[in-house]
Amino acid sequence: MAEDLTLETVTPPGMEDIRAAAAALAPVAVETPLLPAFALDRMTGGRVLIKPELLQRTGSFKFRGAYNKIRSLDPDRRRRGVVAFSSGNHAQGVAAAAQLLGAPAVIVMPADAPSIKIENTRGYGAEVLLYDRDREDREAIASELARRKGATLVRPYDDPDIIAGQGTIGLELVRQAEALGRPLDLVLAPCSGGGLMAGCAIAIKSLSPETRLLTAEPEGFDDMARSLASGRRERNAPGGRSICDALMSPTPGILTFRVNRELVDGGVAVSEAEVCRAMAFAFRELKLVVEPGGATPLAALLAGKVDAAGKTVALVLSGGNVDRATFLAALEAARG
Amino acid sequence: MAEDLTLETVTPPGMEDIRAAAAALAPVAVETPLLPAFALDRMTGGRVLIKPELLQRTGSFKFRGAYNKIRSLDPDRRRRGVVAFSSGNHAQGVAAAAQLLGAPAVIVMPADAPSIKIENTRGYGAEVLLYDRDREDREAIASELARRKGATLVRPYDDPDIIAGQGTIGLELVRQAEALGRPLDLVLAPCSGGGLMAGCAIAIKSLSPETRLLTAEPEGFDDMARSLASGRRERNAPGGRSICDALMSPTPGILTFRVNRELVDGGVAVSEAEVCRAMAFAFRELKLVVEPGGATPLAALLAGKVDAAGKTVALVLSGGNVDRATFLAALEAARG
């Protein structure tokens, strides 16, 4: 709570922070391409562009924010290490960034996280602590750990450095769309705590104010869409489950919602069947491996929940860290 | 045979043809990215870059050559249409290019081609004629069809316009590697008739003469590697089968071999198990859907058949048109 109250007074990043993050990330991150998707153009009557952040280092966009946060720590704090809690993509991003920057990392992960995410996090040299998603408070575990070790807690979204790192996607989107001669009418991005969208929104609304922004969330976890509609931070019903393991945070972040409330135009929610259909479409037509949470913008488009006709629409596909079994089950479900 | 004798006198394309192809392709093709592959860097001690042509329009590089060929026909010939024979990727490339350029297309395909390739070819508006791979001569069927219709036969590789189109990959490779500050020591590309490698070789050896070039073929279909070693066009034993449906041509092309004999440094062959392992690796680590034939360079690298230590190595992953069942079987085989 003390942490939350502090956040109320923190200033969100500006364009200069996002540009600084982009410069720091250039030597270590992937500038993911902005790809045409002709099959989607034919289906929607629009021009659809794909930003595949699954091609990012660690298989998701989370590396951007994590690296930008850890590189911003002074050398002494970095040496004392970092602690994070995450269902998996932030875990891998923090672990890989910490390894590159020489900081020891401990990551608190739910025991039911996809095994690919747990294995990869260990593969980047981090220590992994598993907790029970229903019975334990990951924030409390991580905060206590950080306090005990004198380490820095790297929050998944409610941190200006994290938001600035994710905002580099927005910078790239605007520049790449311009290079294609296709200014963006609409950008859809997956949303959990809201850091990806907050960063993108700061960059995109600054450089291209006419571009509309929509979050894409799983049904049952559409707290950001409902919060944007009501103007206050709504919570999801507790105990829910989703195939979108990366998008299960209970409520928008404090800082991220302050940004998104001002800059984001709304949100859509997609069903599990729509997510599976999008994963199968990405396999067949885009040749991309997309994890469930990363596929929500494509799911929304394919389900007709967004009208792309006559517009240039970019979809941020945020990650591809999906277990083989979950991937196969999704392809199977999409046939049914 | 008359056609073959003619080919002996045809001049291969030069850099100016490849540059013209690149200009023609710019508005319709994907400039595929050149992606880092940090997991492969760790494994090999080199710097490995991926050129994912599976992200190309139609899911393989073949669109480049086909479009460049058909756009070079005069309007009257284009109106009379095009005919092609192909196991699938050239089929889709020709069909999509013909559709964009307003030329009717008939494609002769083996009845056992992957159903995704047959369906997609029809999806691009082409008429598909199926033949029996073991009992019928696809070249004879296609030539007779072209003669009867007054249509143009679009050969899969033994054609300067086709080779020039594929060569645009080589142009991009050199430019993109330079932009990353990583001049290429070695490029590996899949090889069947040899058009992809011939085009790339012309561009790469012209712009970056020190770069070594290696073909990657399936065992039993390593005619290019053996031909490069012996200096004459070797044939594969007839009746063979391979999971690499795209790489089953019986012998190098006449024109392509003339180019490759001069410019290509050698070739490696990979087993079916190595191909499956590469497809599974691409799924898990690169988040890319690679078809068996498109995965041979990665298979060679993972099998230790190419030494990347201390070098910058680019792998052309040439296509991603793989049936769901074949993809799942490959992932399954790679576990075992």
Q: How many CB pairs under 8 A join A and B?
A: 52
Question: Which residue, among A287, A321, A322, would best test binding to B if mutated, counting the most B CBs under 10 Å from its CB?
Answer: A287
Give the A-side interface with B, CB within 8 Å. 30, 32-33, 35-36, 38, 52, 54-55, 57, 59, 116, 283-284, 286-290, 320, 324, 327-328, 331
The length of chain B, given as a count of residues: 336
Positions of A annotated as catalytic residues are: 62, 318
Q: Tell me, what's the pLDDT at B4?
A: 58
Strand A35-36: give its sheet, edge to edge.
A35-36, A47-52, A312-317, A186-190, A212-218, A266-270
Which residues in chain A are contacts of B287 at CB distance < 8 A? 52, 54-55, 59, 288-290, 320
Decide if A116 and B284 are in contact by the 8 Å CB cutoff.
yes
Annotated catalytic residue within B62, B69, B117, B205 = B62
Secondary structure (3-state) at A84: strand
Which residues in chain A are contacts of B331 at CB distance < 8 A? 324, 328
Q: Which of A193-197, B108-112, B154-158 has the lowest mean pLDDT?
A: B108-112
Q: What is the mean pLDDT of residues A213-236?
A: 97
Q: What is the mean pLDDT of residues A196-214?
A: 98
Would you say A137 and A159 are in contact if contact means Cβ atoms under 8 Å apart? Answer: no
Which residues in chain B are contacts of A325 at CB distance < 8 A? none
Would you say B270 and B218 are in contact if contact means Cβ atoms under 8 Å apart? Answer: yes
Decide if A57 and B38 are in contact by the 8 Å CB cutoff.
yes
Residue whose C-alpha is closest to residue A217's, from A275, A296, A318, A272: A296
Q: Is the pLDDT of residue B336 over 80?
A: no
Residue whose C-alpha is closest to residue A123's, from B275, B277, B38: B38
* Contact residues for A260 (Cβ-Cβ < 8 A; gap 6+): A194, A197, A198, A201, A215, A224, A228, A252
Least CB–CB distance from A30: residue in B36, B116, B290: B36
Q: DSSP letters of A216-280? A: EEETT--HHHHHHHHSS---PPTT---S-GGG--SS--HHHHHHHHHH--EEEEE-HHHHHHHHH
Q: What is the mean pLDDT of chain B?
A: 95
Residue whose C-alpha is closest to residue A3's, from A191, A253, A235, A193: A253
Q: Is the pLDDT of residue B221 over 70?
A: yes
ipTM of the complex: 0.95
Would you say B266 and B25 are in contact if contact means Cβ atoms under 8 Å apart? Answer: no
CA distances from A89 to A54, A149, A199 (A): 10, 23, 17
The DSSP H or E segment spanning A214 is strand A212-218
- The span from the CA of B234 to the CA of B252, in Å, is 7
Q: Is the pLDDT of residue B2 over 60?
A: no
Secondary structure (3-state) at B35: strand
Decide if A59 and B33 are in contact by the 8 Å CB cutoff.
no
- The span from the CA of A121 to the CA of A113, in Å, is 11
Q: Kindly state the tokens that stand for B153.
A: 């036969």
- Dump pLDDT digits (tens) for B239-271: 889 999 889 889 999 999 999 999 999 999 999
Q: What is the mean pLDDT of residues B132-147?
A: 90
Minimal CA separation from A290 to chain B, in Å: 7
B205 is catalytic: no
Minimal CA separation from B75 to chain A, in Å: 25
- The span from the CA of B291 to the CA of B99, in Å, is 24
Which residues in chain B are contacts of A288 at CB distance < 8 A? 287-289
Decide if A287 and B36 are in contact by the 8 Å CB cutoff.
no
Decide if B116 and A284 are in contact by the 8 Å CB cutoff.
yes
Q: Is the pLDDT of residue B1 over 60?
A: no
Give the B-side interface with A, CB within 8 Å. 30, 32-33, 35-36, 38, 52, 54-55, 57, 59, 116, 283-284, 286-290, 320, 324, 327-328, 331
pLDDT band at A87 (very low <50, low <70, confident <90, very high): confident
Question: Which residue matches tokens 């998701």?
Answer: A60
Q: Tell me, what's the pLDDT at B114?
A: 87
Least CB–CB distance from A328: residue in B52, B288, B328: B328
Q: Tell me, what's the pLDDT at B109?
A: 93
A150 burial (CB, 10 Å; 0-12 / 13-18 / 19+) is exposed
- Dump pLDDT digits (tens) for A241-276: 999 988 988 999 999 999 999 999 999 999 999 999
Least CB–CB distance from B287: residue in A33, A320, A324: A320
Single pTM value for the model: 0.96
Q: Is the pLDDT of residue A282 over 50?
A: yes
Q: How remote is the C-alpha of B293 from its chain's centroid?
A: 9
Decide if B324 and A284 are in contact by the 8 Å CB cutoff.
yes
Q: Is the pLDDT of residue A301 over 80?
A: yes
DSSP state of B294: G
Q: Is the pLDDT of residue A120 over 50?
A: yes
Question: Which residue, among B287, B290, B331, would best test binding to A if mutated, counting the most A CBs under 10 Å from its CB?
Answer: B287
DSSP state of B181: T
Instruction: Give 3-state DSSP helix, strand, coil % of chain B, rounded to 5.
Output: 50, 15, 35
Q: Tell me, what's the pLDDT at B113?
A: 87
- Dump pLDDT digits (tens) for B19-34: 999 999 999 999 999 9
Q: Is the pLDDT of residue B220 over 90?
A: yes
- Dump pLDDT digits (tens) for B54-75: 999 999 999 999 999 999 999 9
Q: Tell me, what's the pLDDT at A2?
A: 43
Find the radius of gyration of the CA atoms of chain B: 18
Which residues in chain B are contacts of A52 at CB distance < 8 A? 287
| pLDDT cut 90: percent of chain B above it | 89
Would you say A95 and A82 are in contact if contact means Cβ atoms under 8 Å apart? Answer: no
Q: Is the pLDDT of residue B138 over 90?
A: no
pLDDT band at B5 (very low <50, low <70, confident <90, very high): low
